[in-house]
Amino acid sequence: MERIILLIAAVIIGAMLVWVALFPPNPQQARVPDILPPEVPWFEQEVLQARETVIVDFGAAWCGPCRVLKPMLDQLETEFAGRVKIVPVDIDEEPELSAHYKVDGVPYMFVYRDGELVAAVQGLIPDYTELVQFIRPHLPPPAAVSDAEADPPTEAAAGSPDDPVTAPSEPAPPGSPEAASAR
């Protein structure tokens, strides 16, 4: 009898592992609502015309989970500077905007990329790593290194004695190869 119970338990656990592998859970991802952007001038400028990914964070001063989420969003904005921007919206101060988005609980985040709503999540994402995993697919690629930073300066660009901008700041010591080439 004991062997039968162990066999049944092993089959159930195996089936659960297969199910999770085939259909990984993602409880925080909300359905992206089919909502037209609001006709609010600051929203258009701050969100729709932004070059970086924008997280519109609906919250409230009295909301405990919102206070837990705020430092993580600040860290996200710092870590991905130039690639993500956080736009906080207090539902008590912007009731029309909250109604427009049908925000029925906070925190509620809407993610915009290139002016398009691409993701939404309602509720607290309690772990910073999970927050990064949620937002990473929606981030633009890191800015390419500029040509000036990628190419090291050549000898000619490093210091021409006739150019006050690139002239060496100190004369080369006597007997050094630099002093010999300057003659």
Catalytic residue flag (residue 18): no
Active-site position among 66, 76, 109, 121: 66
The residue annotated as part of the active site, out of 55, 63, 106, 119, is 63
Residues with Cβ within 8 Å of residue 121, at least 6 apart in sequence: 28, 29, 30, 108, 109, 111, 134
C-alpha span between 55 and 87 (Å, rounded): 6
What values do phi and psi take at 67, rounded to 5?
-70, -30
DSSP-assigned beta bridge partners for residue 113: 116
**Is 34 known to be catalytic?**
no
Q: Could you tell me which residues are beta bridge partners of residue 22?
A: none
Measured in Å, how far apart are the chain's first and last C-alpha atoms? 99
Residues with active-site annotation: 63, 66
